Chain A
């Protein structure tokens, strides 16, 4: 771009705020940016820091940018600690962060947390394995066979509409509140997204791929391994990931409602005994596990399908 044109664009650029990289990342735009925030002392201070930041080497700047990701969690923690220390709210409702850490180490030391976590995860593993594998089989069948689709499709799509959470009371009456009930409900939750993804994934394989396979006279095993599997796998893996996070959510909900062990039961017990520290530890651990499951599957997706050009 010619310099003159560029400067025109800079002067009249409609969105100085929204440009991440480009000609606008100069001091002028920073001042303009700050004028939007208001020209008080705070803004002046911010402007000083902004100019300081610009004067730094790019390397240091990128490190600082990375550090800004930490600001808000740390600010929230500090606010929480300050409010808890000030005692604005009753002490049994808003506990200081240190007490949560203490409860966490306590639960860890007594082995209670491991036990609950182990119970929850084994339920999740078993239920998810049953549900997702049968969902995979059913989905592939439904995609390949017209008969299965015609006979099973309507029932499948009707049952898919019923949320798992709403089924908890019904399954309690049908199967009791034992282990069977939880595994069935996790399996039910995992079944539908995987079956749907498998059906759509297999159906979406372009017909031309099979024609190419025909031309090369590929045999069945080779056809499946070399063509069908790579083409259908990405949506199926995404289906697995979605169903895993949903299954985790439903499992925790189930344990909250009816269980004698597990993470959800620990939270519910803490609630009944007004141990808010235990409840918070439970909520945090639930979040970390959910994140870890999702993250692992995402990395797996990226790793398996890095050859894909999107």
Chain B
């Protein structure tokens, strides 16, 4: 009994917080407006699940994230490799890349919205840009920090450039690229939701939240926030497990 209590100590604070929330919601009408009772959240969950609204919007957001992520990863890795392997390309593209990178991701949204409208294309563009930056940085780092010893082995074995790339540089850079994907995943997910908040057209969790804000339906917003947090966590966890499995050949310190 005591050991069970010990294990559940971490739940105490969250439960207290939820209790306080419920308590505030019962105080007066103003409290019930901002802090909705838990029962309302529960019924809203059933309602959203029942009419499929949550699922449709979630899937739309996930689809946007994955297409943006795929684009960002492909172009990010390409540019990263180019910049790491050719000092000329690095000198030509590097300054431009680093100066554009300084603008916060969501700061681009108004400009992109003016140029490309607020449809699907703009959102995917923003998501892929958000995935692009960490990919370029990590790929560049991975390829430019290959140990000199490995390069020398390649020289001794007189590998052709392509062989050197495939057998020496790429395996050495893969862990760093995996880290980049992990960052890109998080950025892409946050930016997808953010871009939906700003460009509310079409389906998406952000759009669902904006509509709920306009109708001041706190319970829907709470559900969306929970859903976003949970999905972000799950994606992170899945990718970490996957990369650990795929990179198990690597000797870990």
B232 to A, closest residue via Cβ: A161
Residues B222 and A253 in contact, CB atoms below 8 Å apart = no
**A169 x B91 contact (CB < 8 A):** no
Would you call A69 and B94 a contact (CB within 8 A)? yes
Instruction: Tell me the complex Cα distance, A73–B94, Å.
Output: 10
A65 to B233, CA, bound (A): 45
Q: Is the interface of A mostly helix, strand, loop or mixed?
A: helix
CA distance A267 to B110 in the complex (A): 7
In the docked arrangement, what's the CA distance between A294 and B104, Å? 12
A221: B residues at CB distance < 8 A: none
In the complex, the answer to whether B193 meets A166 with C-beta atoms within 8 Å is yes
B229 to chain A, nearest CB (A): 4
A268 vs B155: C-alpha distance when bound (angstroms): 56
Residues of A within 8 A of B221 (CB): 169-170, 173
Residues in chain A near residue B206, CB distance under 8 A: 166
Complex Cα gap A115–B12 (Å) = 46
Q: A166-B225, A280-B111, A290-B103 are in contact. Are A174 and B34 (CB under 8 A)?
A: yes
Asked if B218 contacts A173 (CB within 8 A), the reply is yes
Q: Measured between C-beta atoms, what is the minimum distance from A200 to chain B in Å?
A: 17
B190 and A163 within 8 A (CB): yes
Quick one: which of A256-294 are within 8 Å of B by CB? 256-257, 264, 267-268, 270-271, 274, 276, 279-280, 282-284, 286-288, 290-291, 294
B104's contact among A170, A173, A174, A286, by CB below 8 Å, is which?
A286
Which A residues touch B232, using CB under 8 A? 161-163
Within 8 Å by CB of B193, from A153, A163, A270, lies: A163
Interface of chain A residues 159 through 192 with chain B (CB within 8 A): 161-163, 165-170, 172-174
B160 beta carbon closer than 8 Å to chain A: yes
Q: Kindly state the separation between the CA atoms of A131 and B168 in the bound complex, as whole angstroms.
A: 45
Question: CB-CB contacts of A137-149 with B at 8 A, as 1s and 0s?
Answer: 0000000000000
Sorting the interface of chain B by its residue count into under 10, 10 to 19, 20 to 34 or 35 or more gives: 35 or more
- Within 8 Å CB of A283, what residues of B? 103, 107-108, 110-111
Answer yes or no: A2 CB below 8 A from chain B CBs. no
Closest chain-A Cβ to B152's Cβ sits at a distance in Å of 10
Instruction: Say whether A300 faces chain B, with CB atoms less than 8 Å apart.
Output: no
- A162–B103 alpha-carbon span in the complex (Å): 23
Q: Could you tell me the distance between the alpha carbons of A228 and B113 in the complex, rounded to whole angstroms?
A: 49
Q: Is A155 within 8 A of B104, CB to CB?
A: no
Chain B interface, >50% SS class: helix
Give the distance in Å from the alpha carbon of A71 to the alpha carbon of B154 in the complex.
34
Question: Is residue A15 within 8 Å, beta carbon to beta carbon, of the partner chain?
Answer: yes
Complex formed: what's the CA distance from A151 to B9 in Å? 6
The answer to whether A276 and B114 have CB atoms under 8 Å apart is yes
Q: Does any Cβ of A come within 8 Å of B95's Cβ?
A: yes
Q: Do A13 and B114 touch across chains, with their CB atoms under 8 A apart?
A: no
Decide: B225 and A162 in contact? CB cutoff 8 A: yes
Contact between chains at A165 and B107 (CB < 8 Å): no
By a CB distance below 8 angstroms, the chain B residues around A18 are 85-87
A155 to B20, CA, bound (A): 15
Q: Which residue of A lies closest to B93 (CB)?
A: A72
Residues of chain B at the chain A interface (Cβ within 8 Å)? 9-14, 17, 34-35, 85-87, 91-96, 99-100, 102-111, 113-115, 154-155, 158-161, 163-164, 189-190, 193-194, 197-198, 206, 209-210, 212-213, 216, 218, 221-222, 224-225, 228-230, 232-233
Listed from nearest, the 9 A-B pairs whose CB atoms lie closest are A154-B10, A249-B104, A287-B103, A162-B229, A291-B102, A253-B106, A287-B102, A169-B213, A72-B96
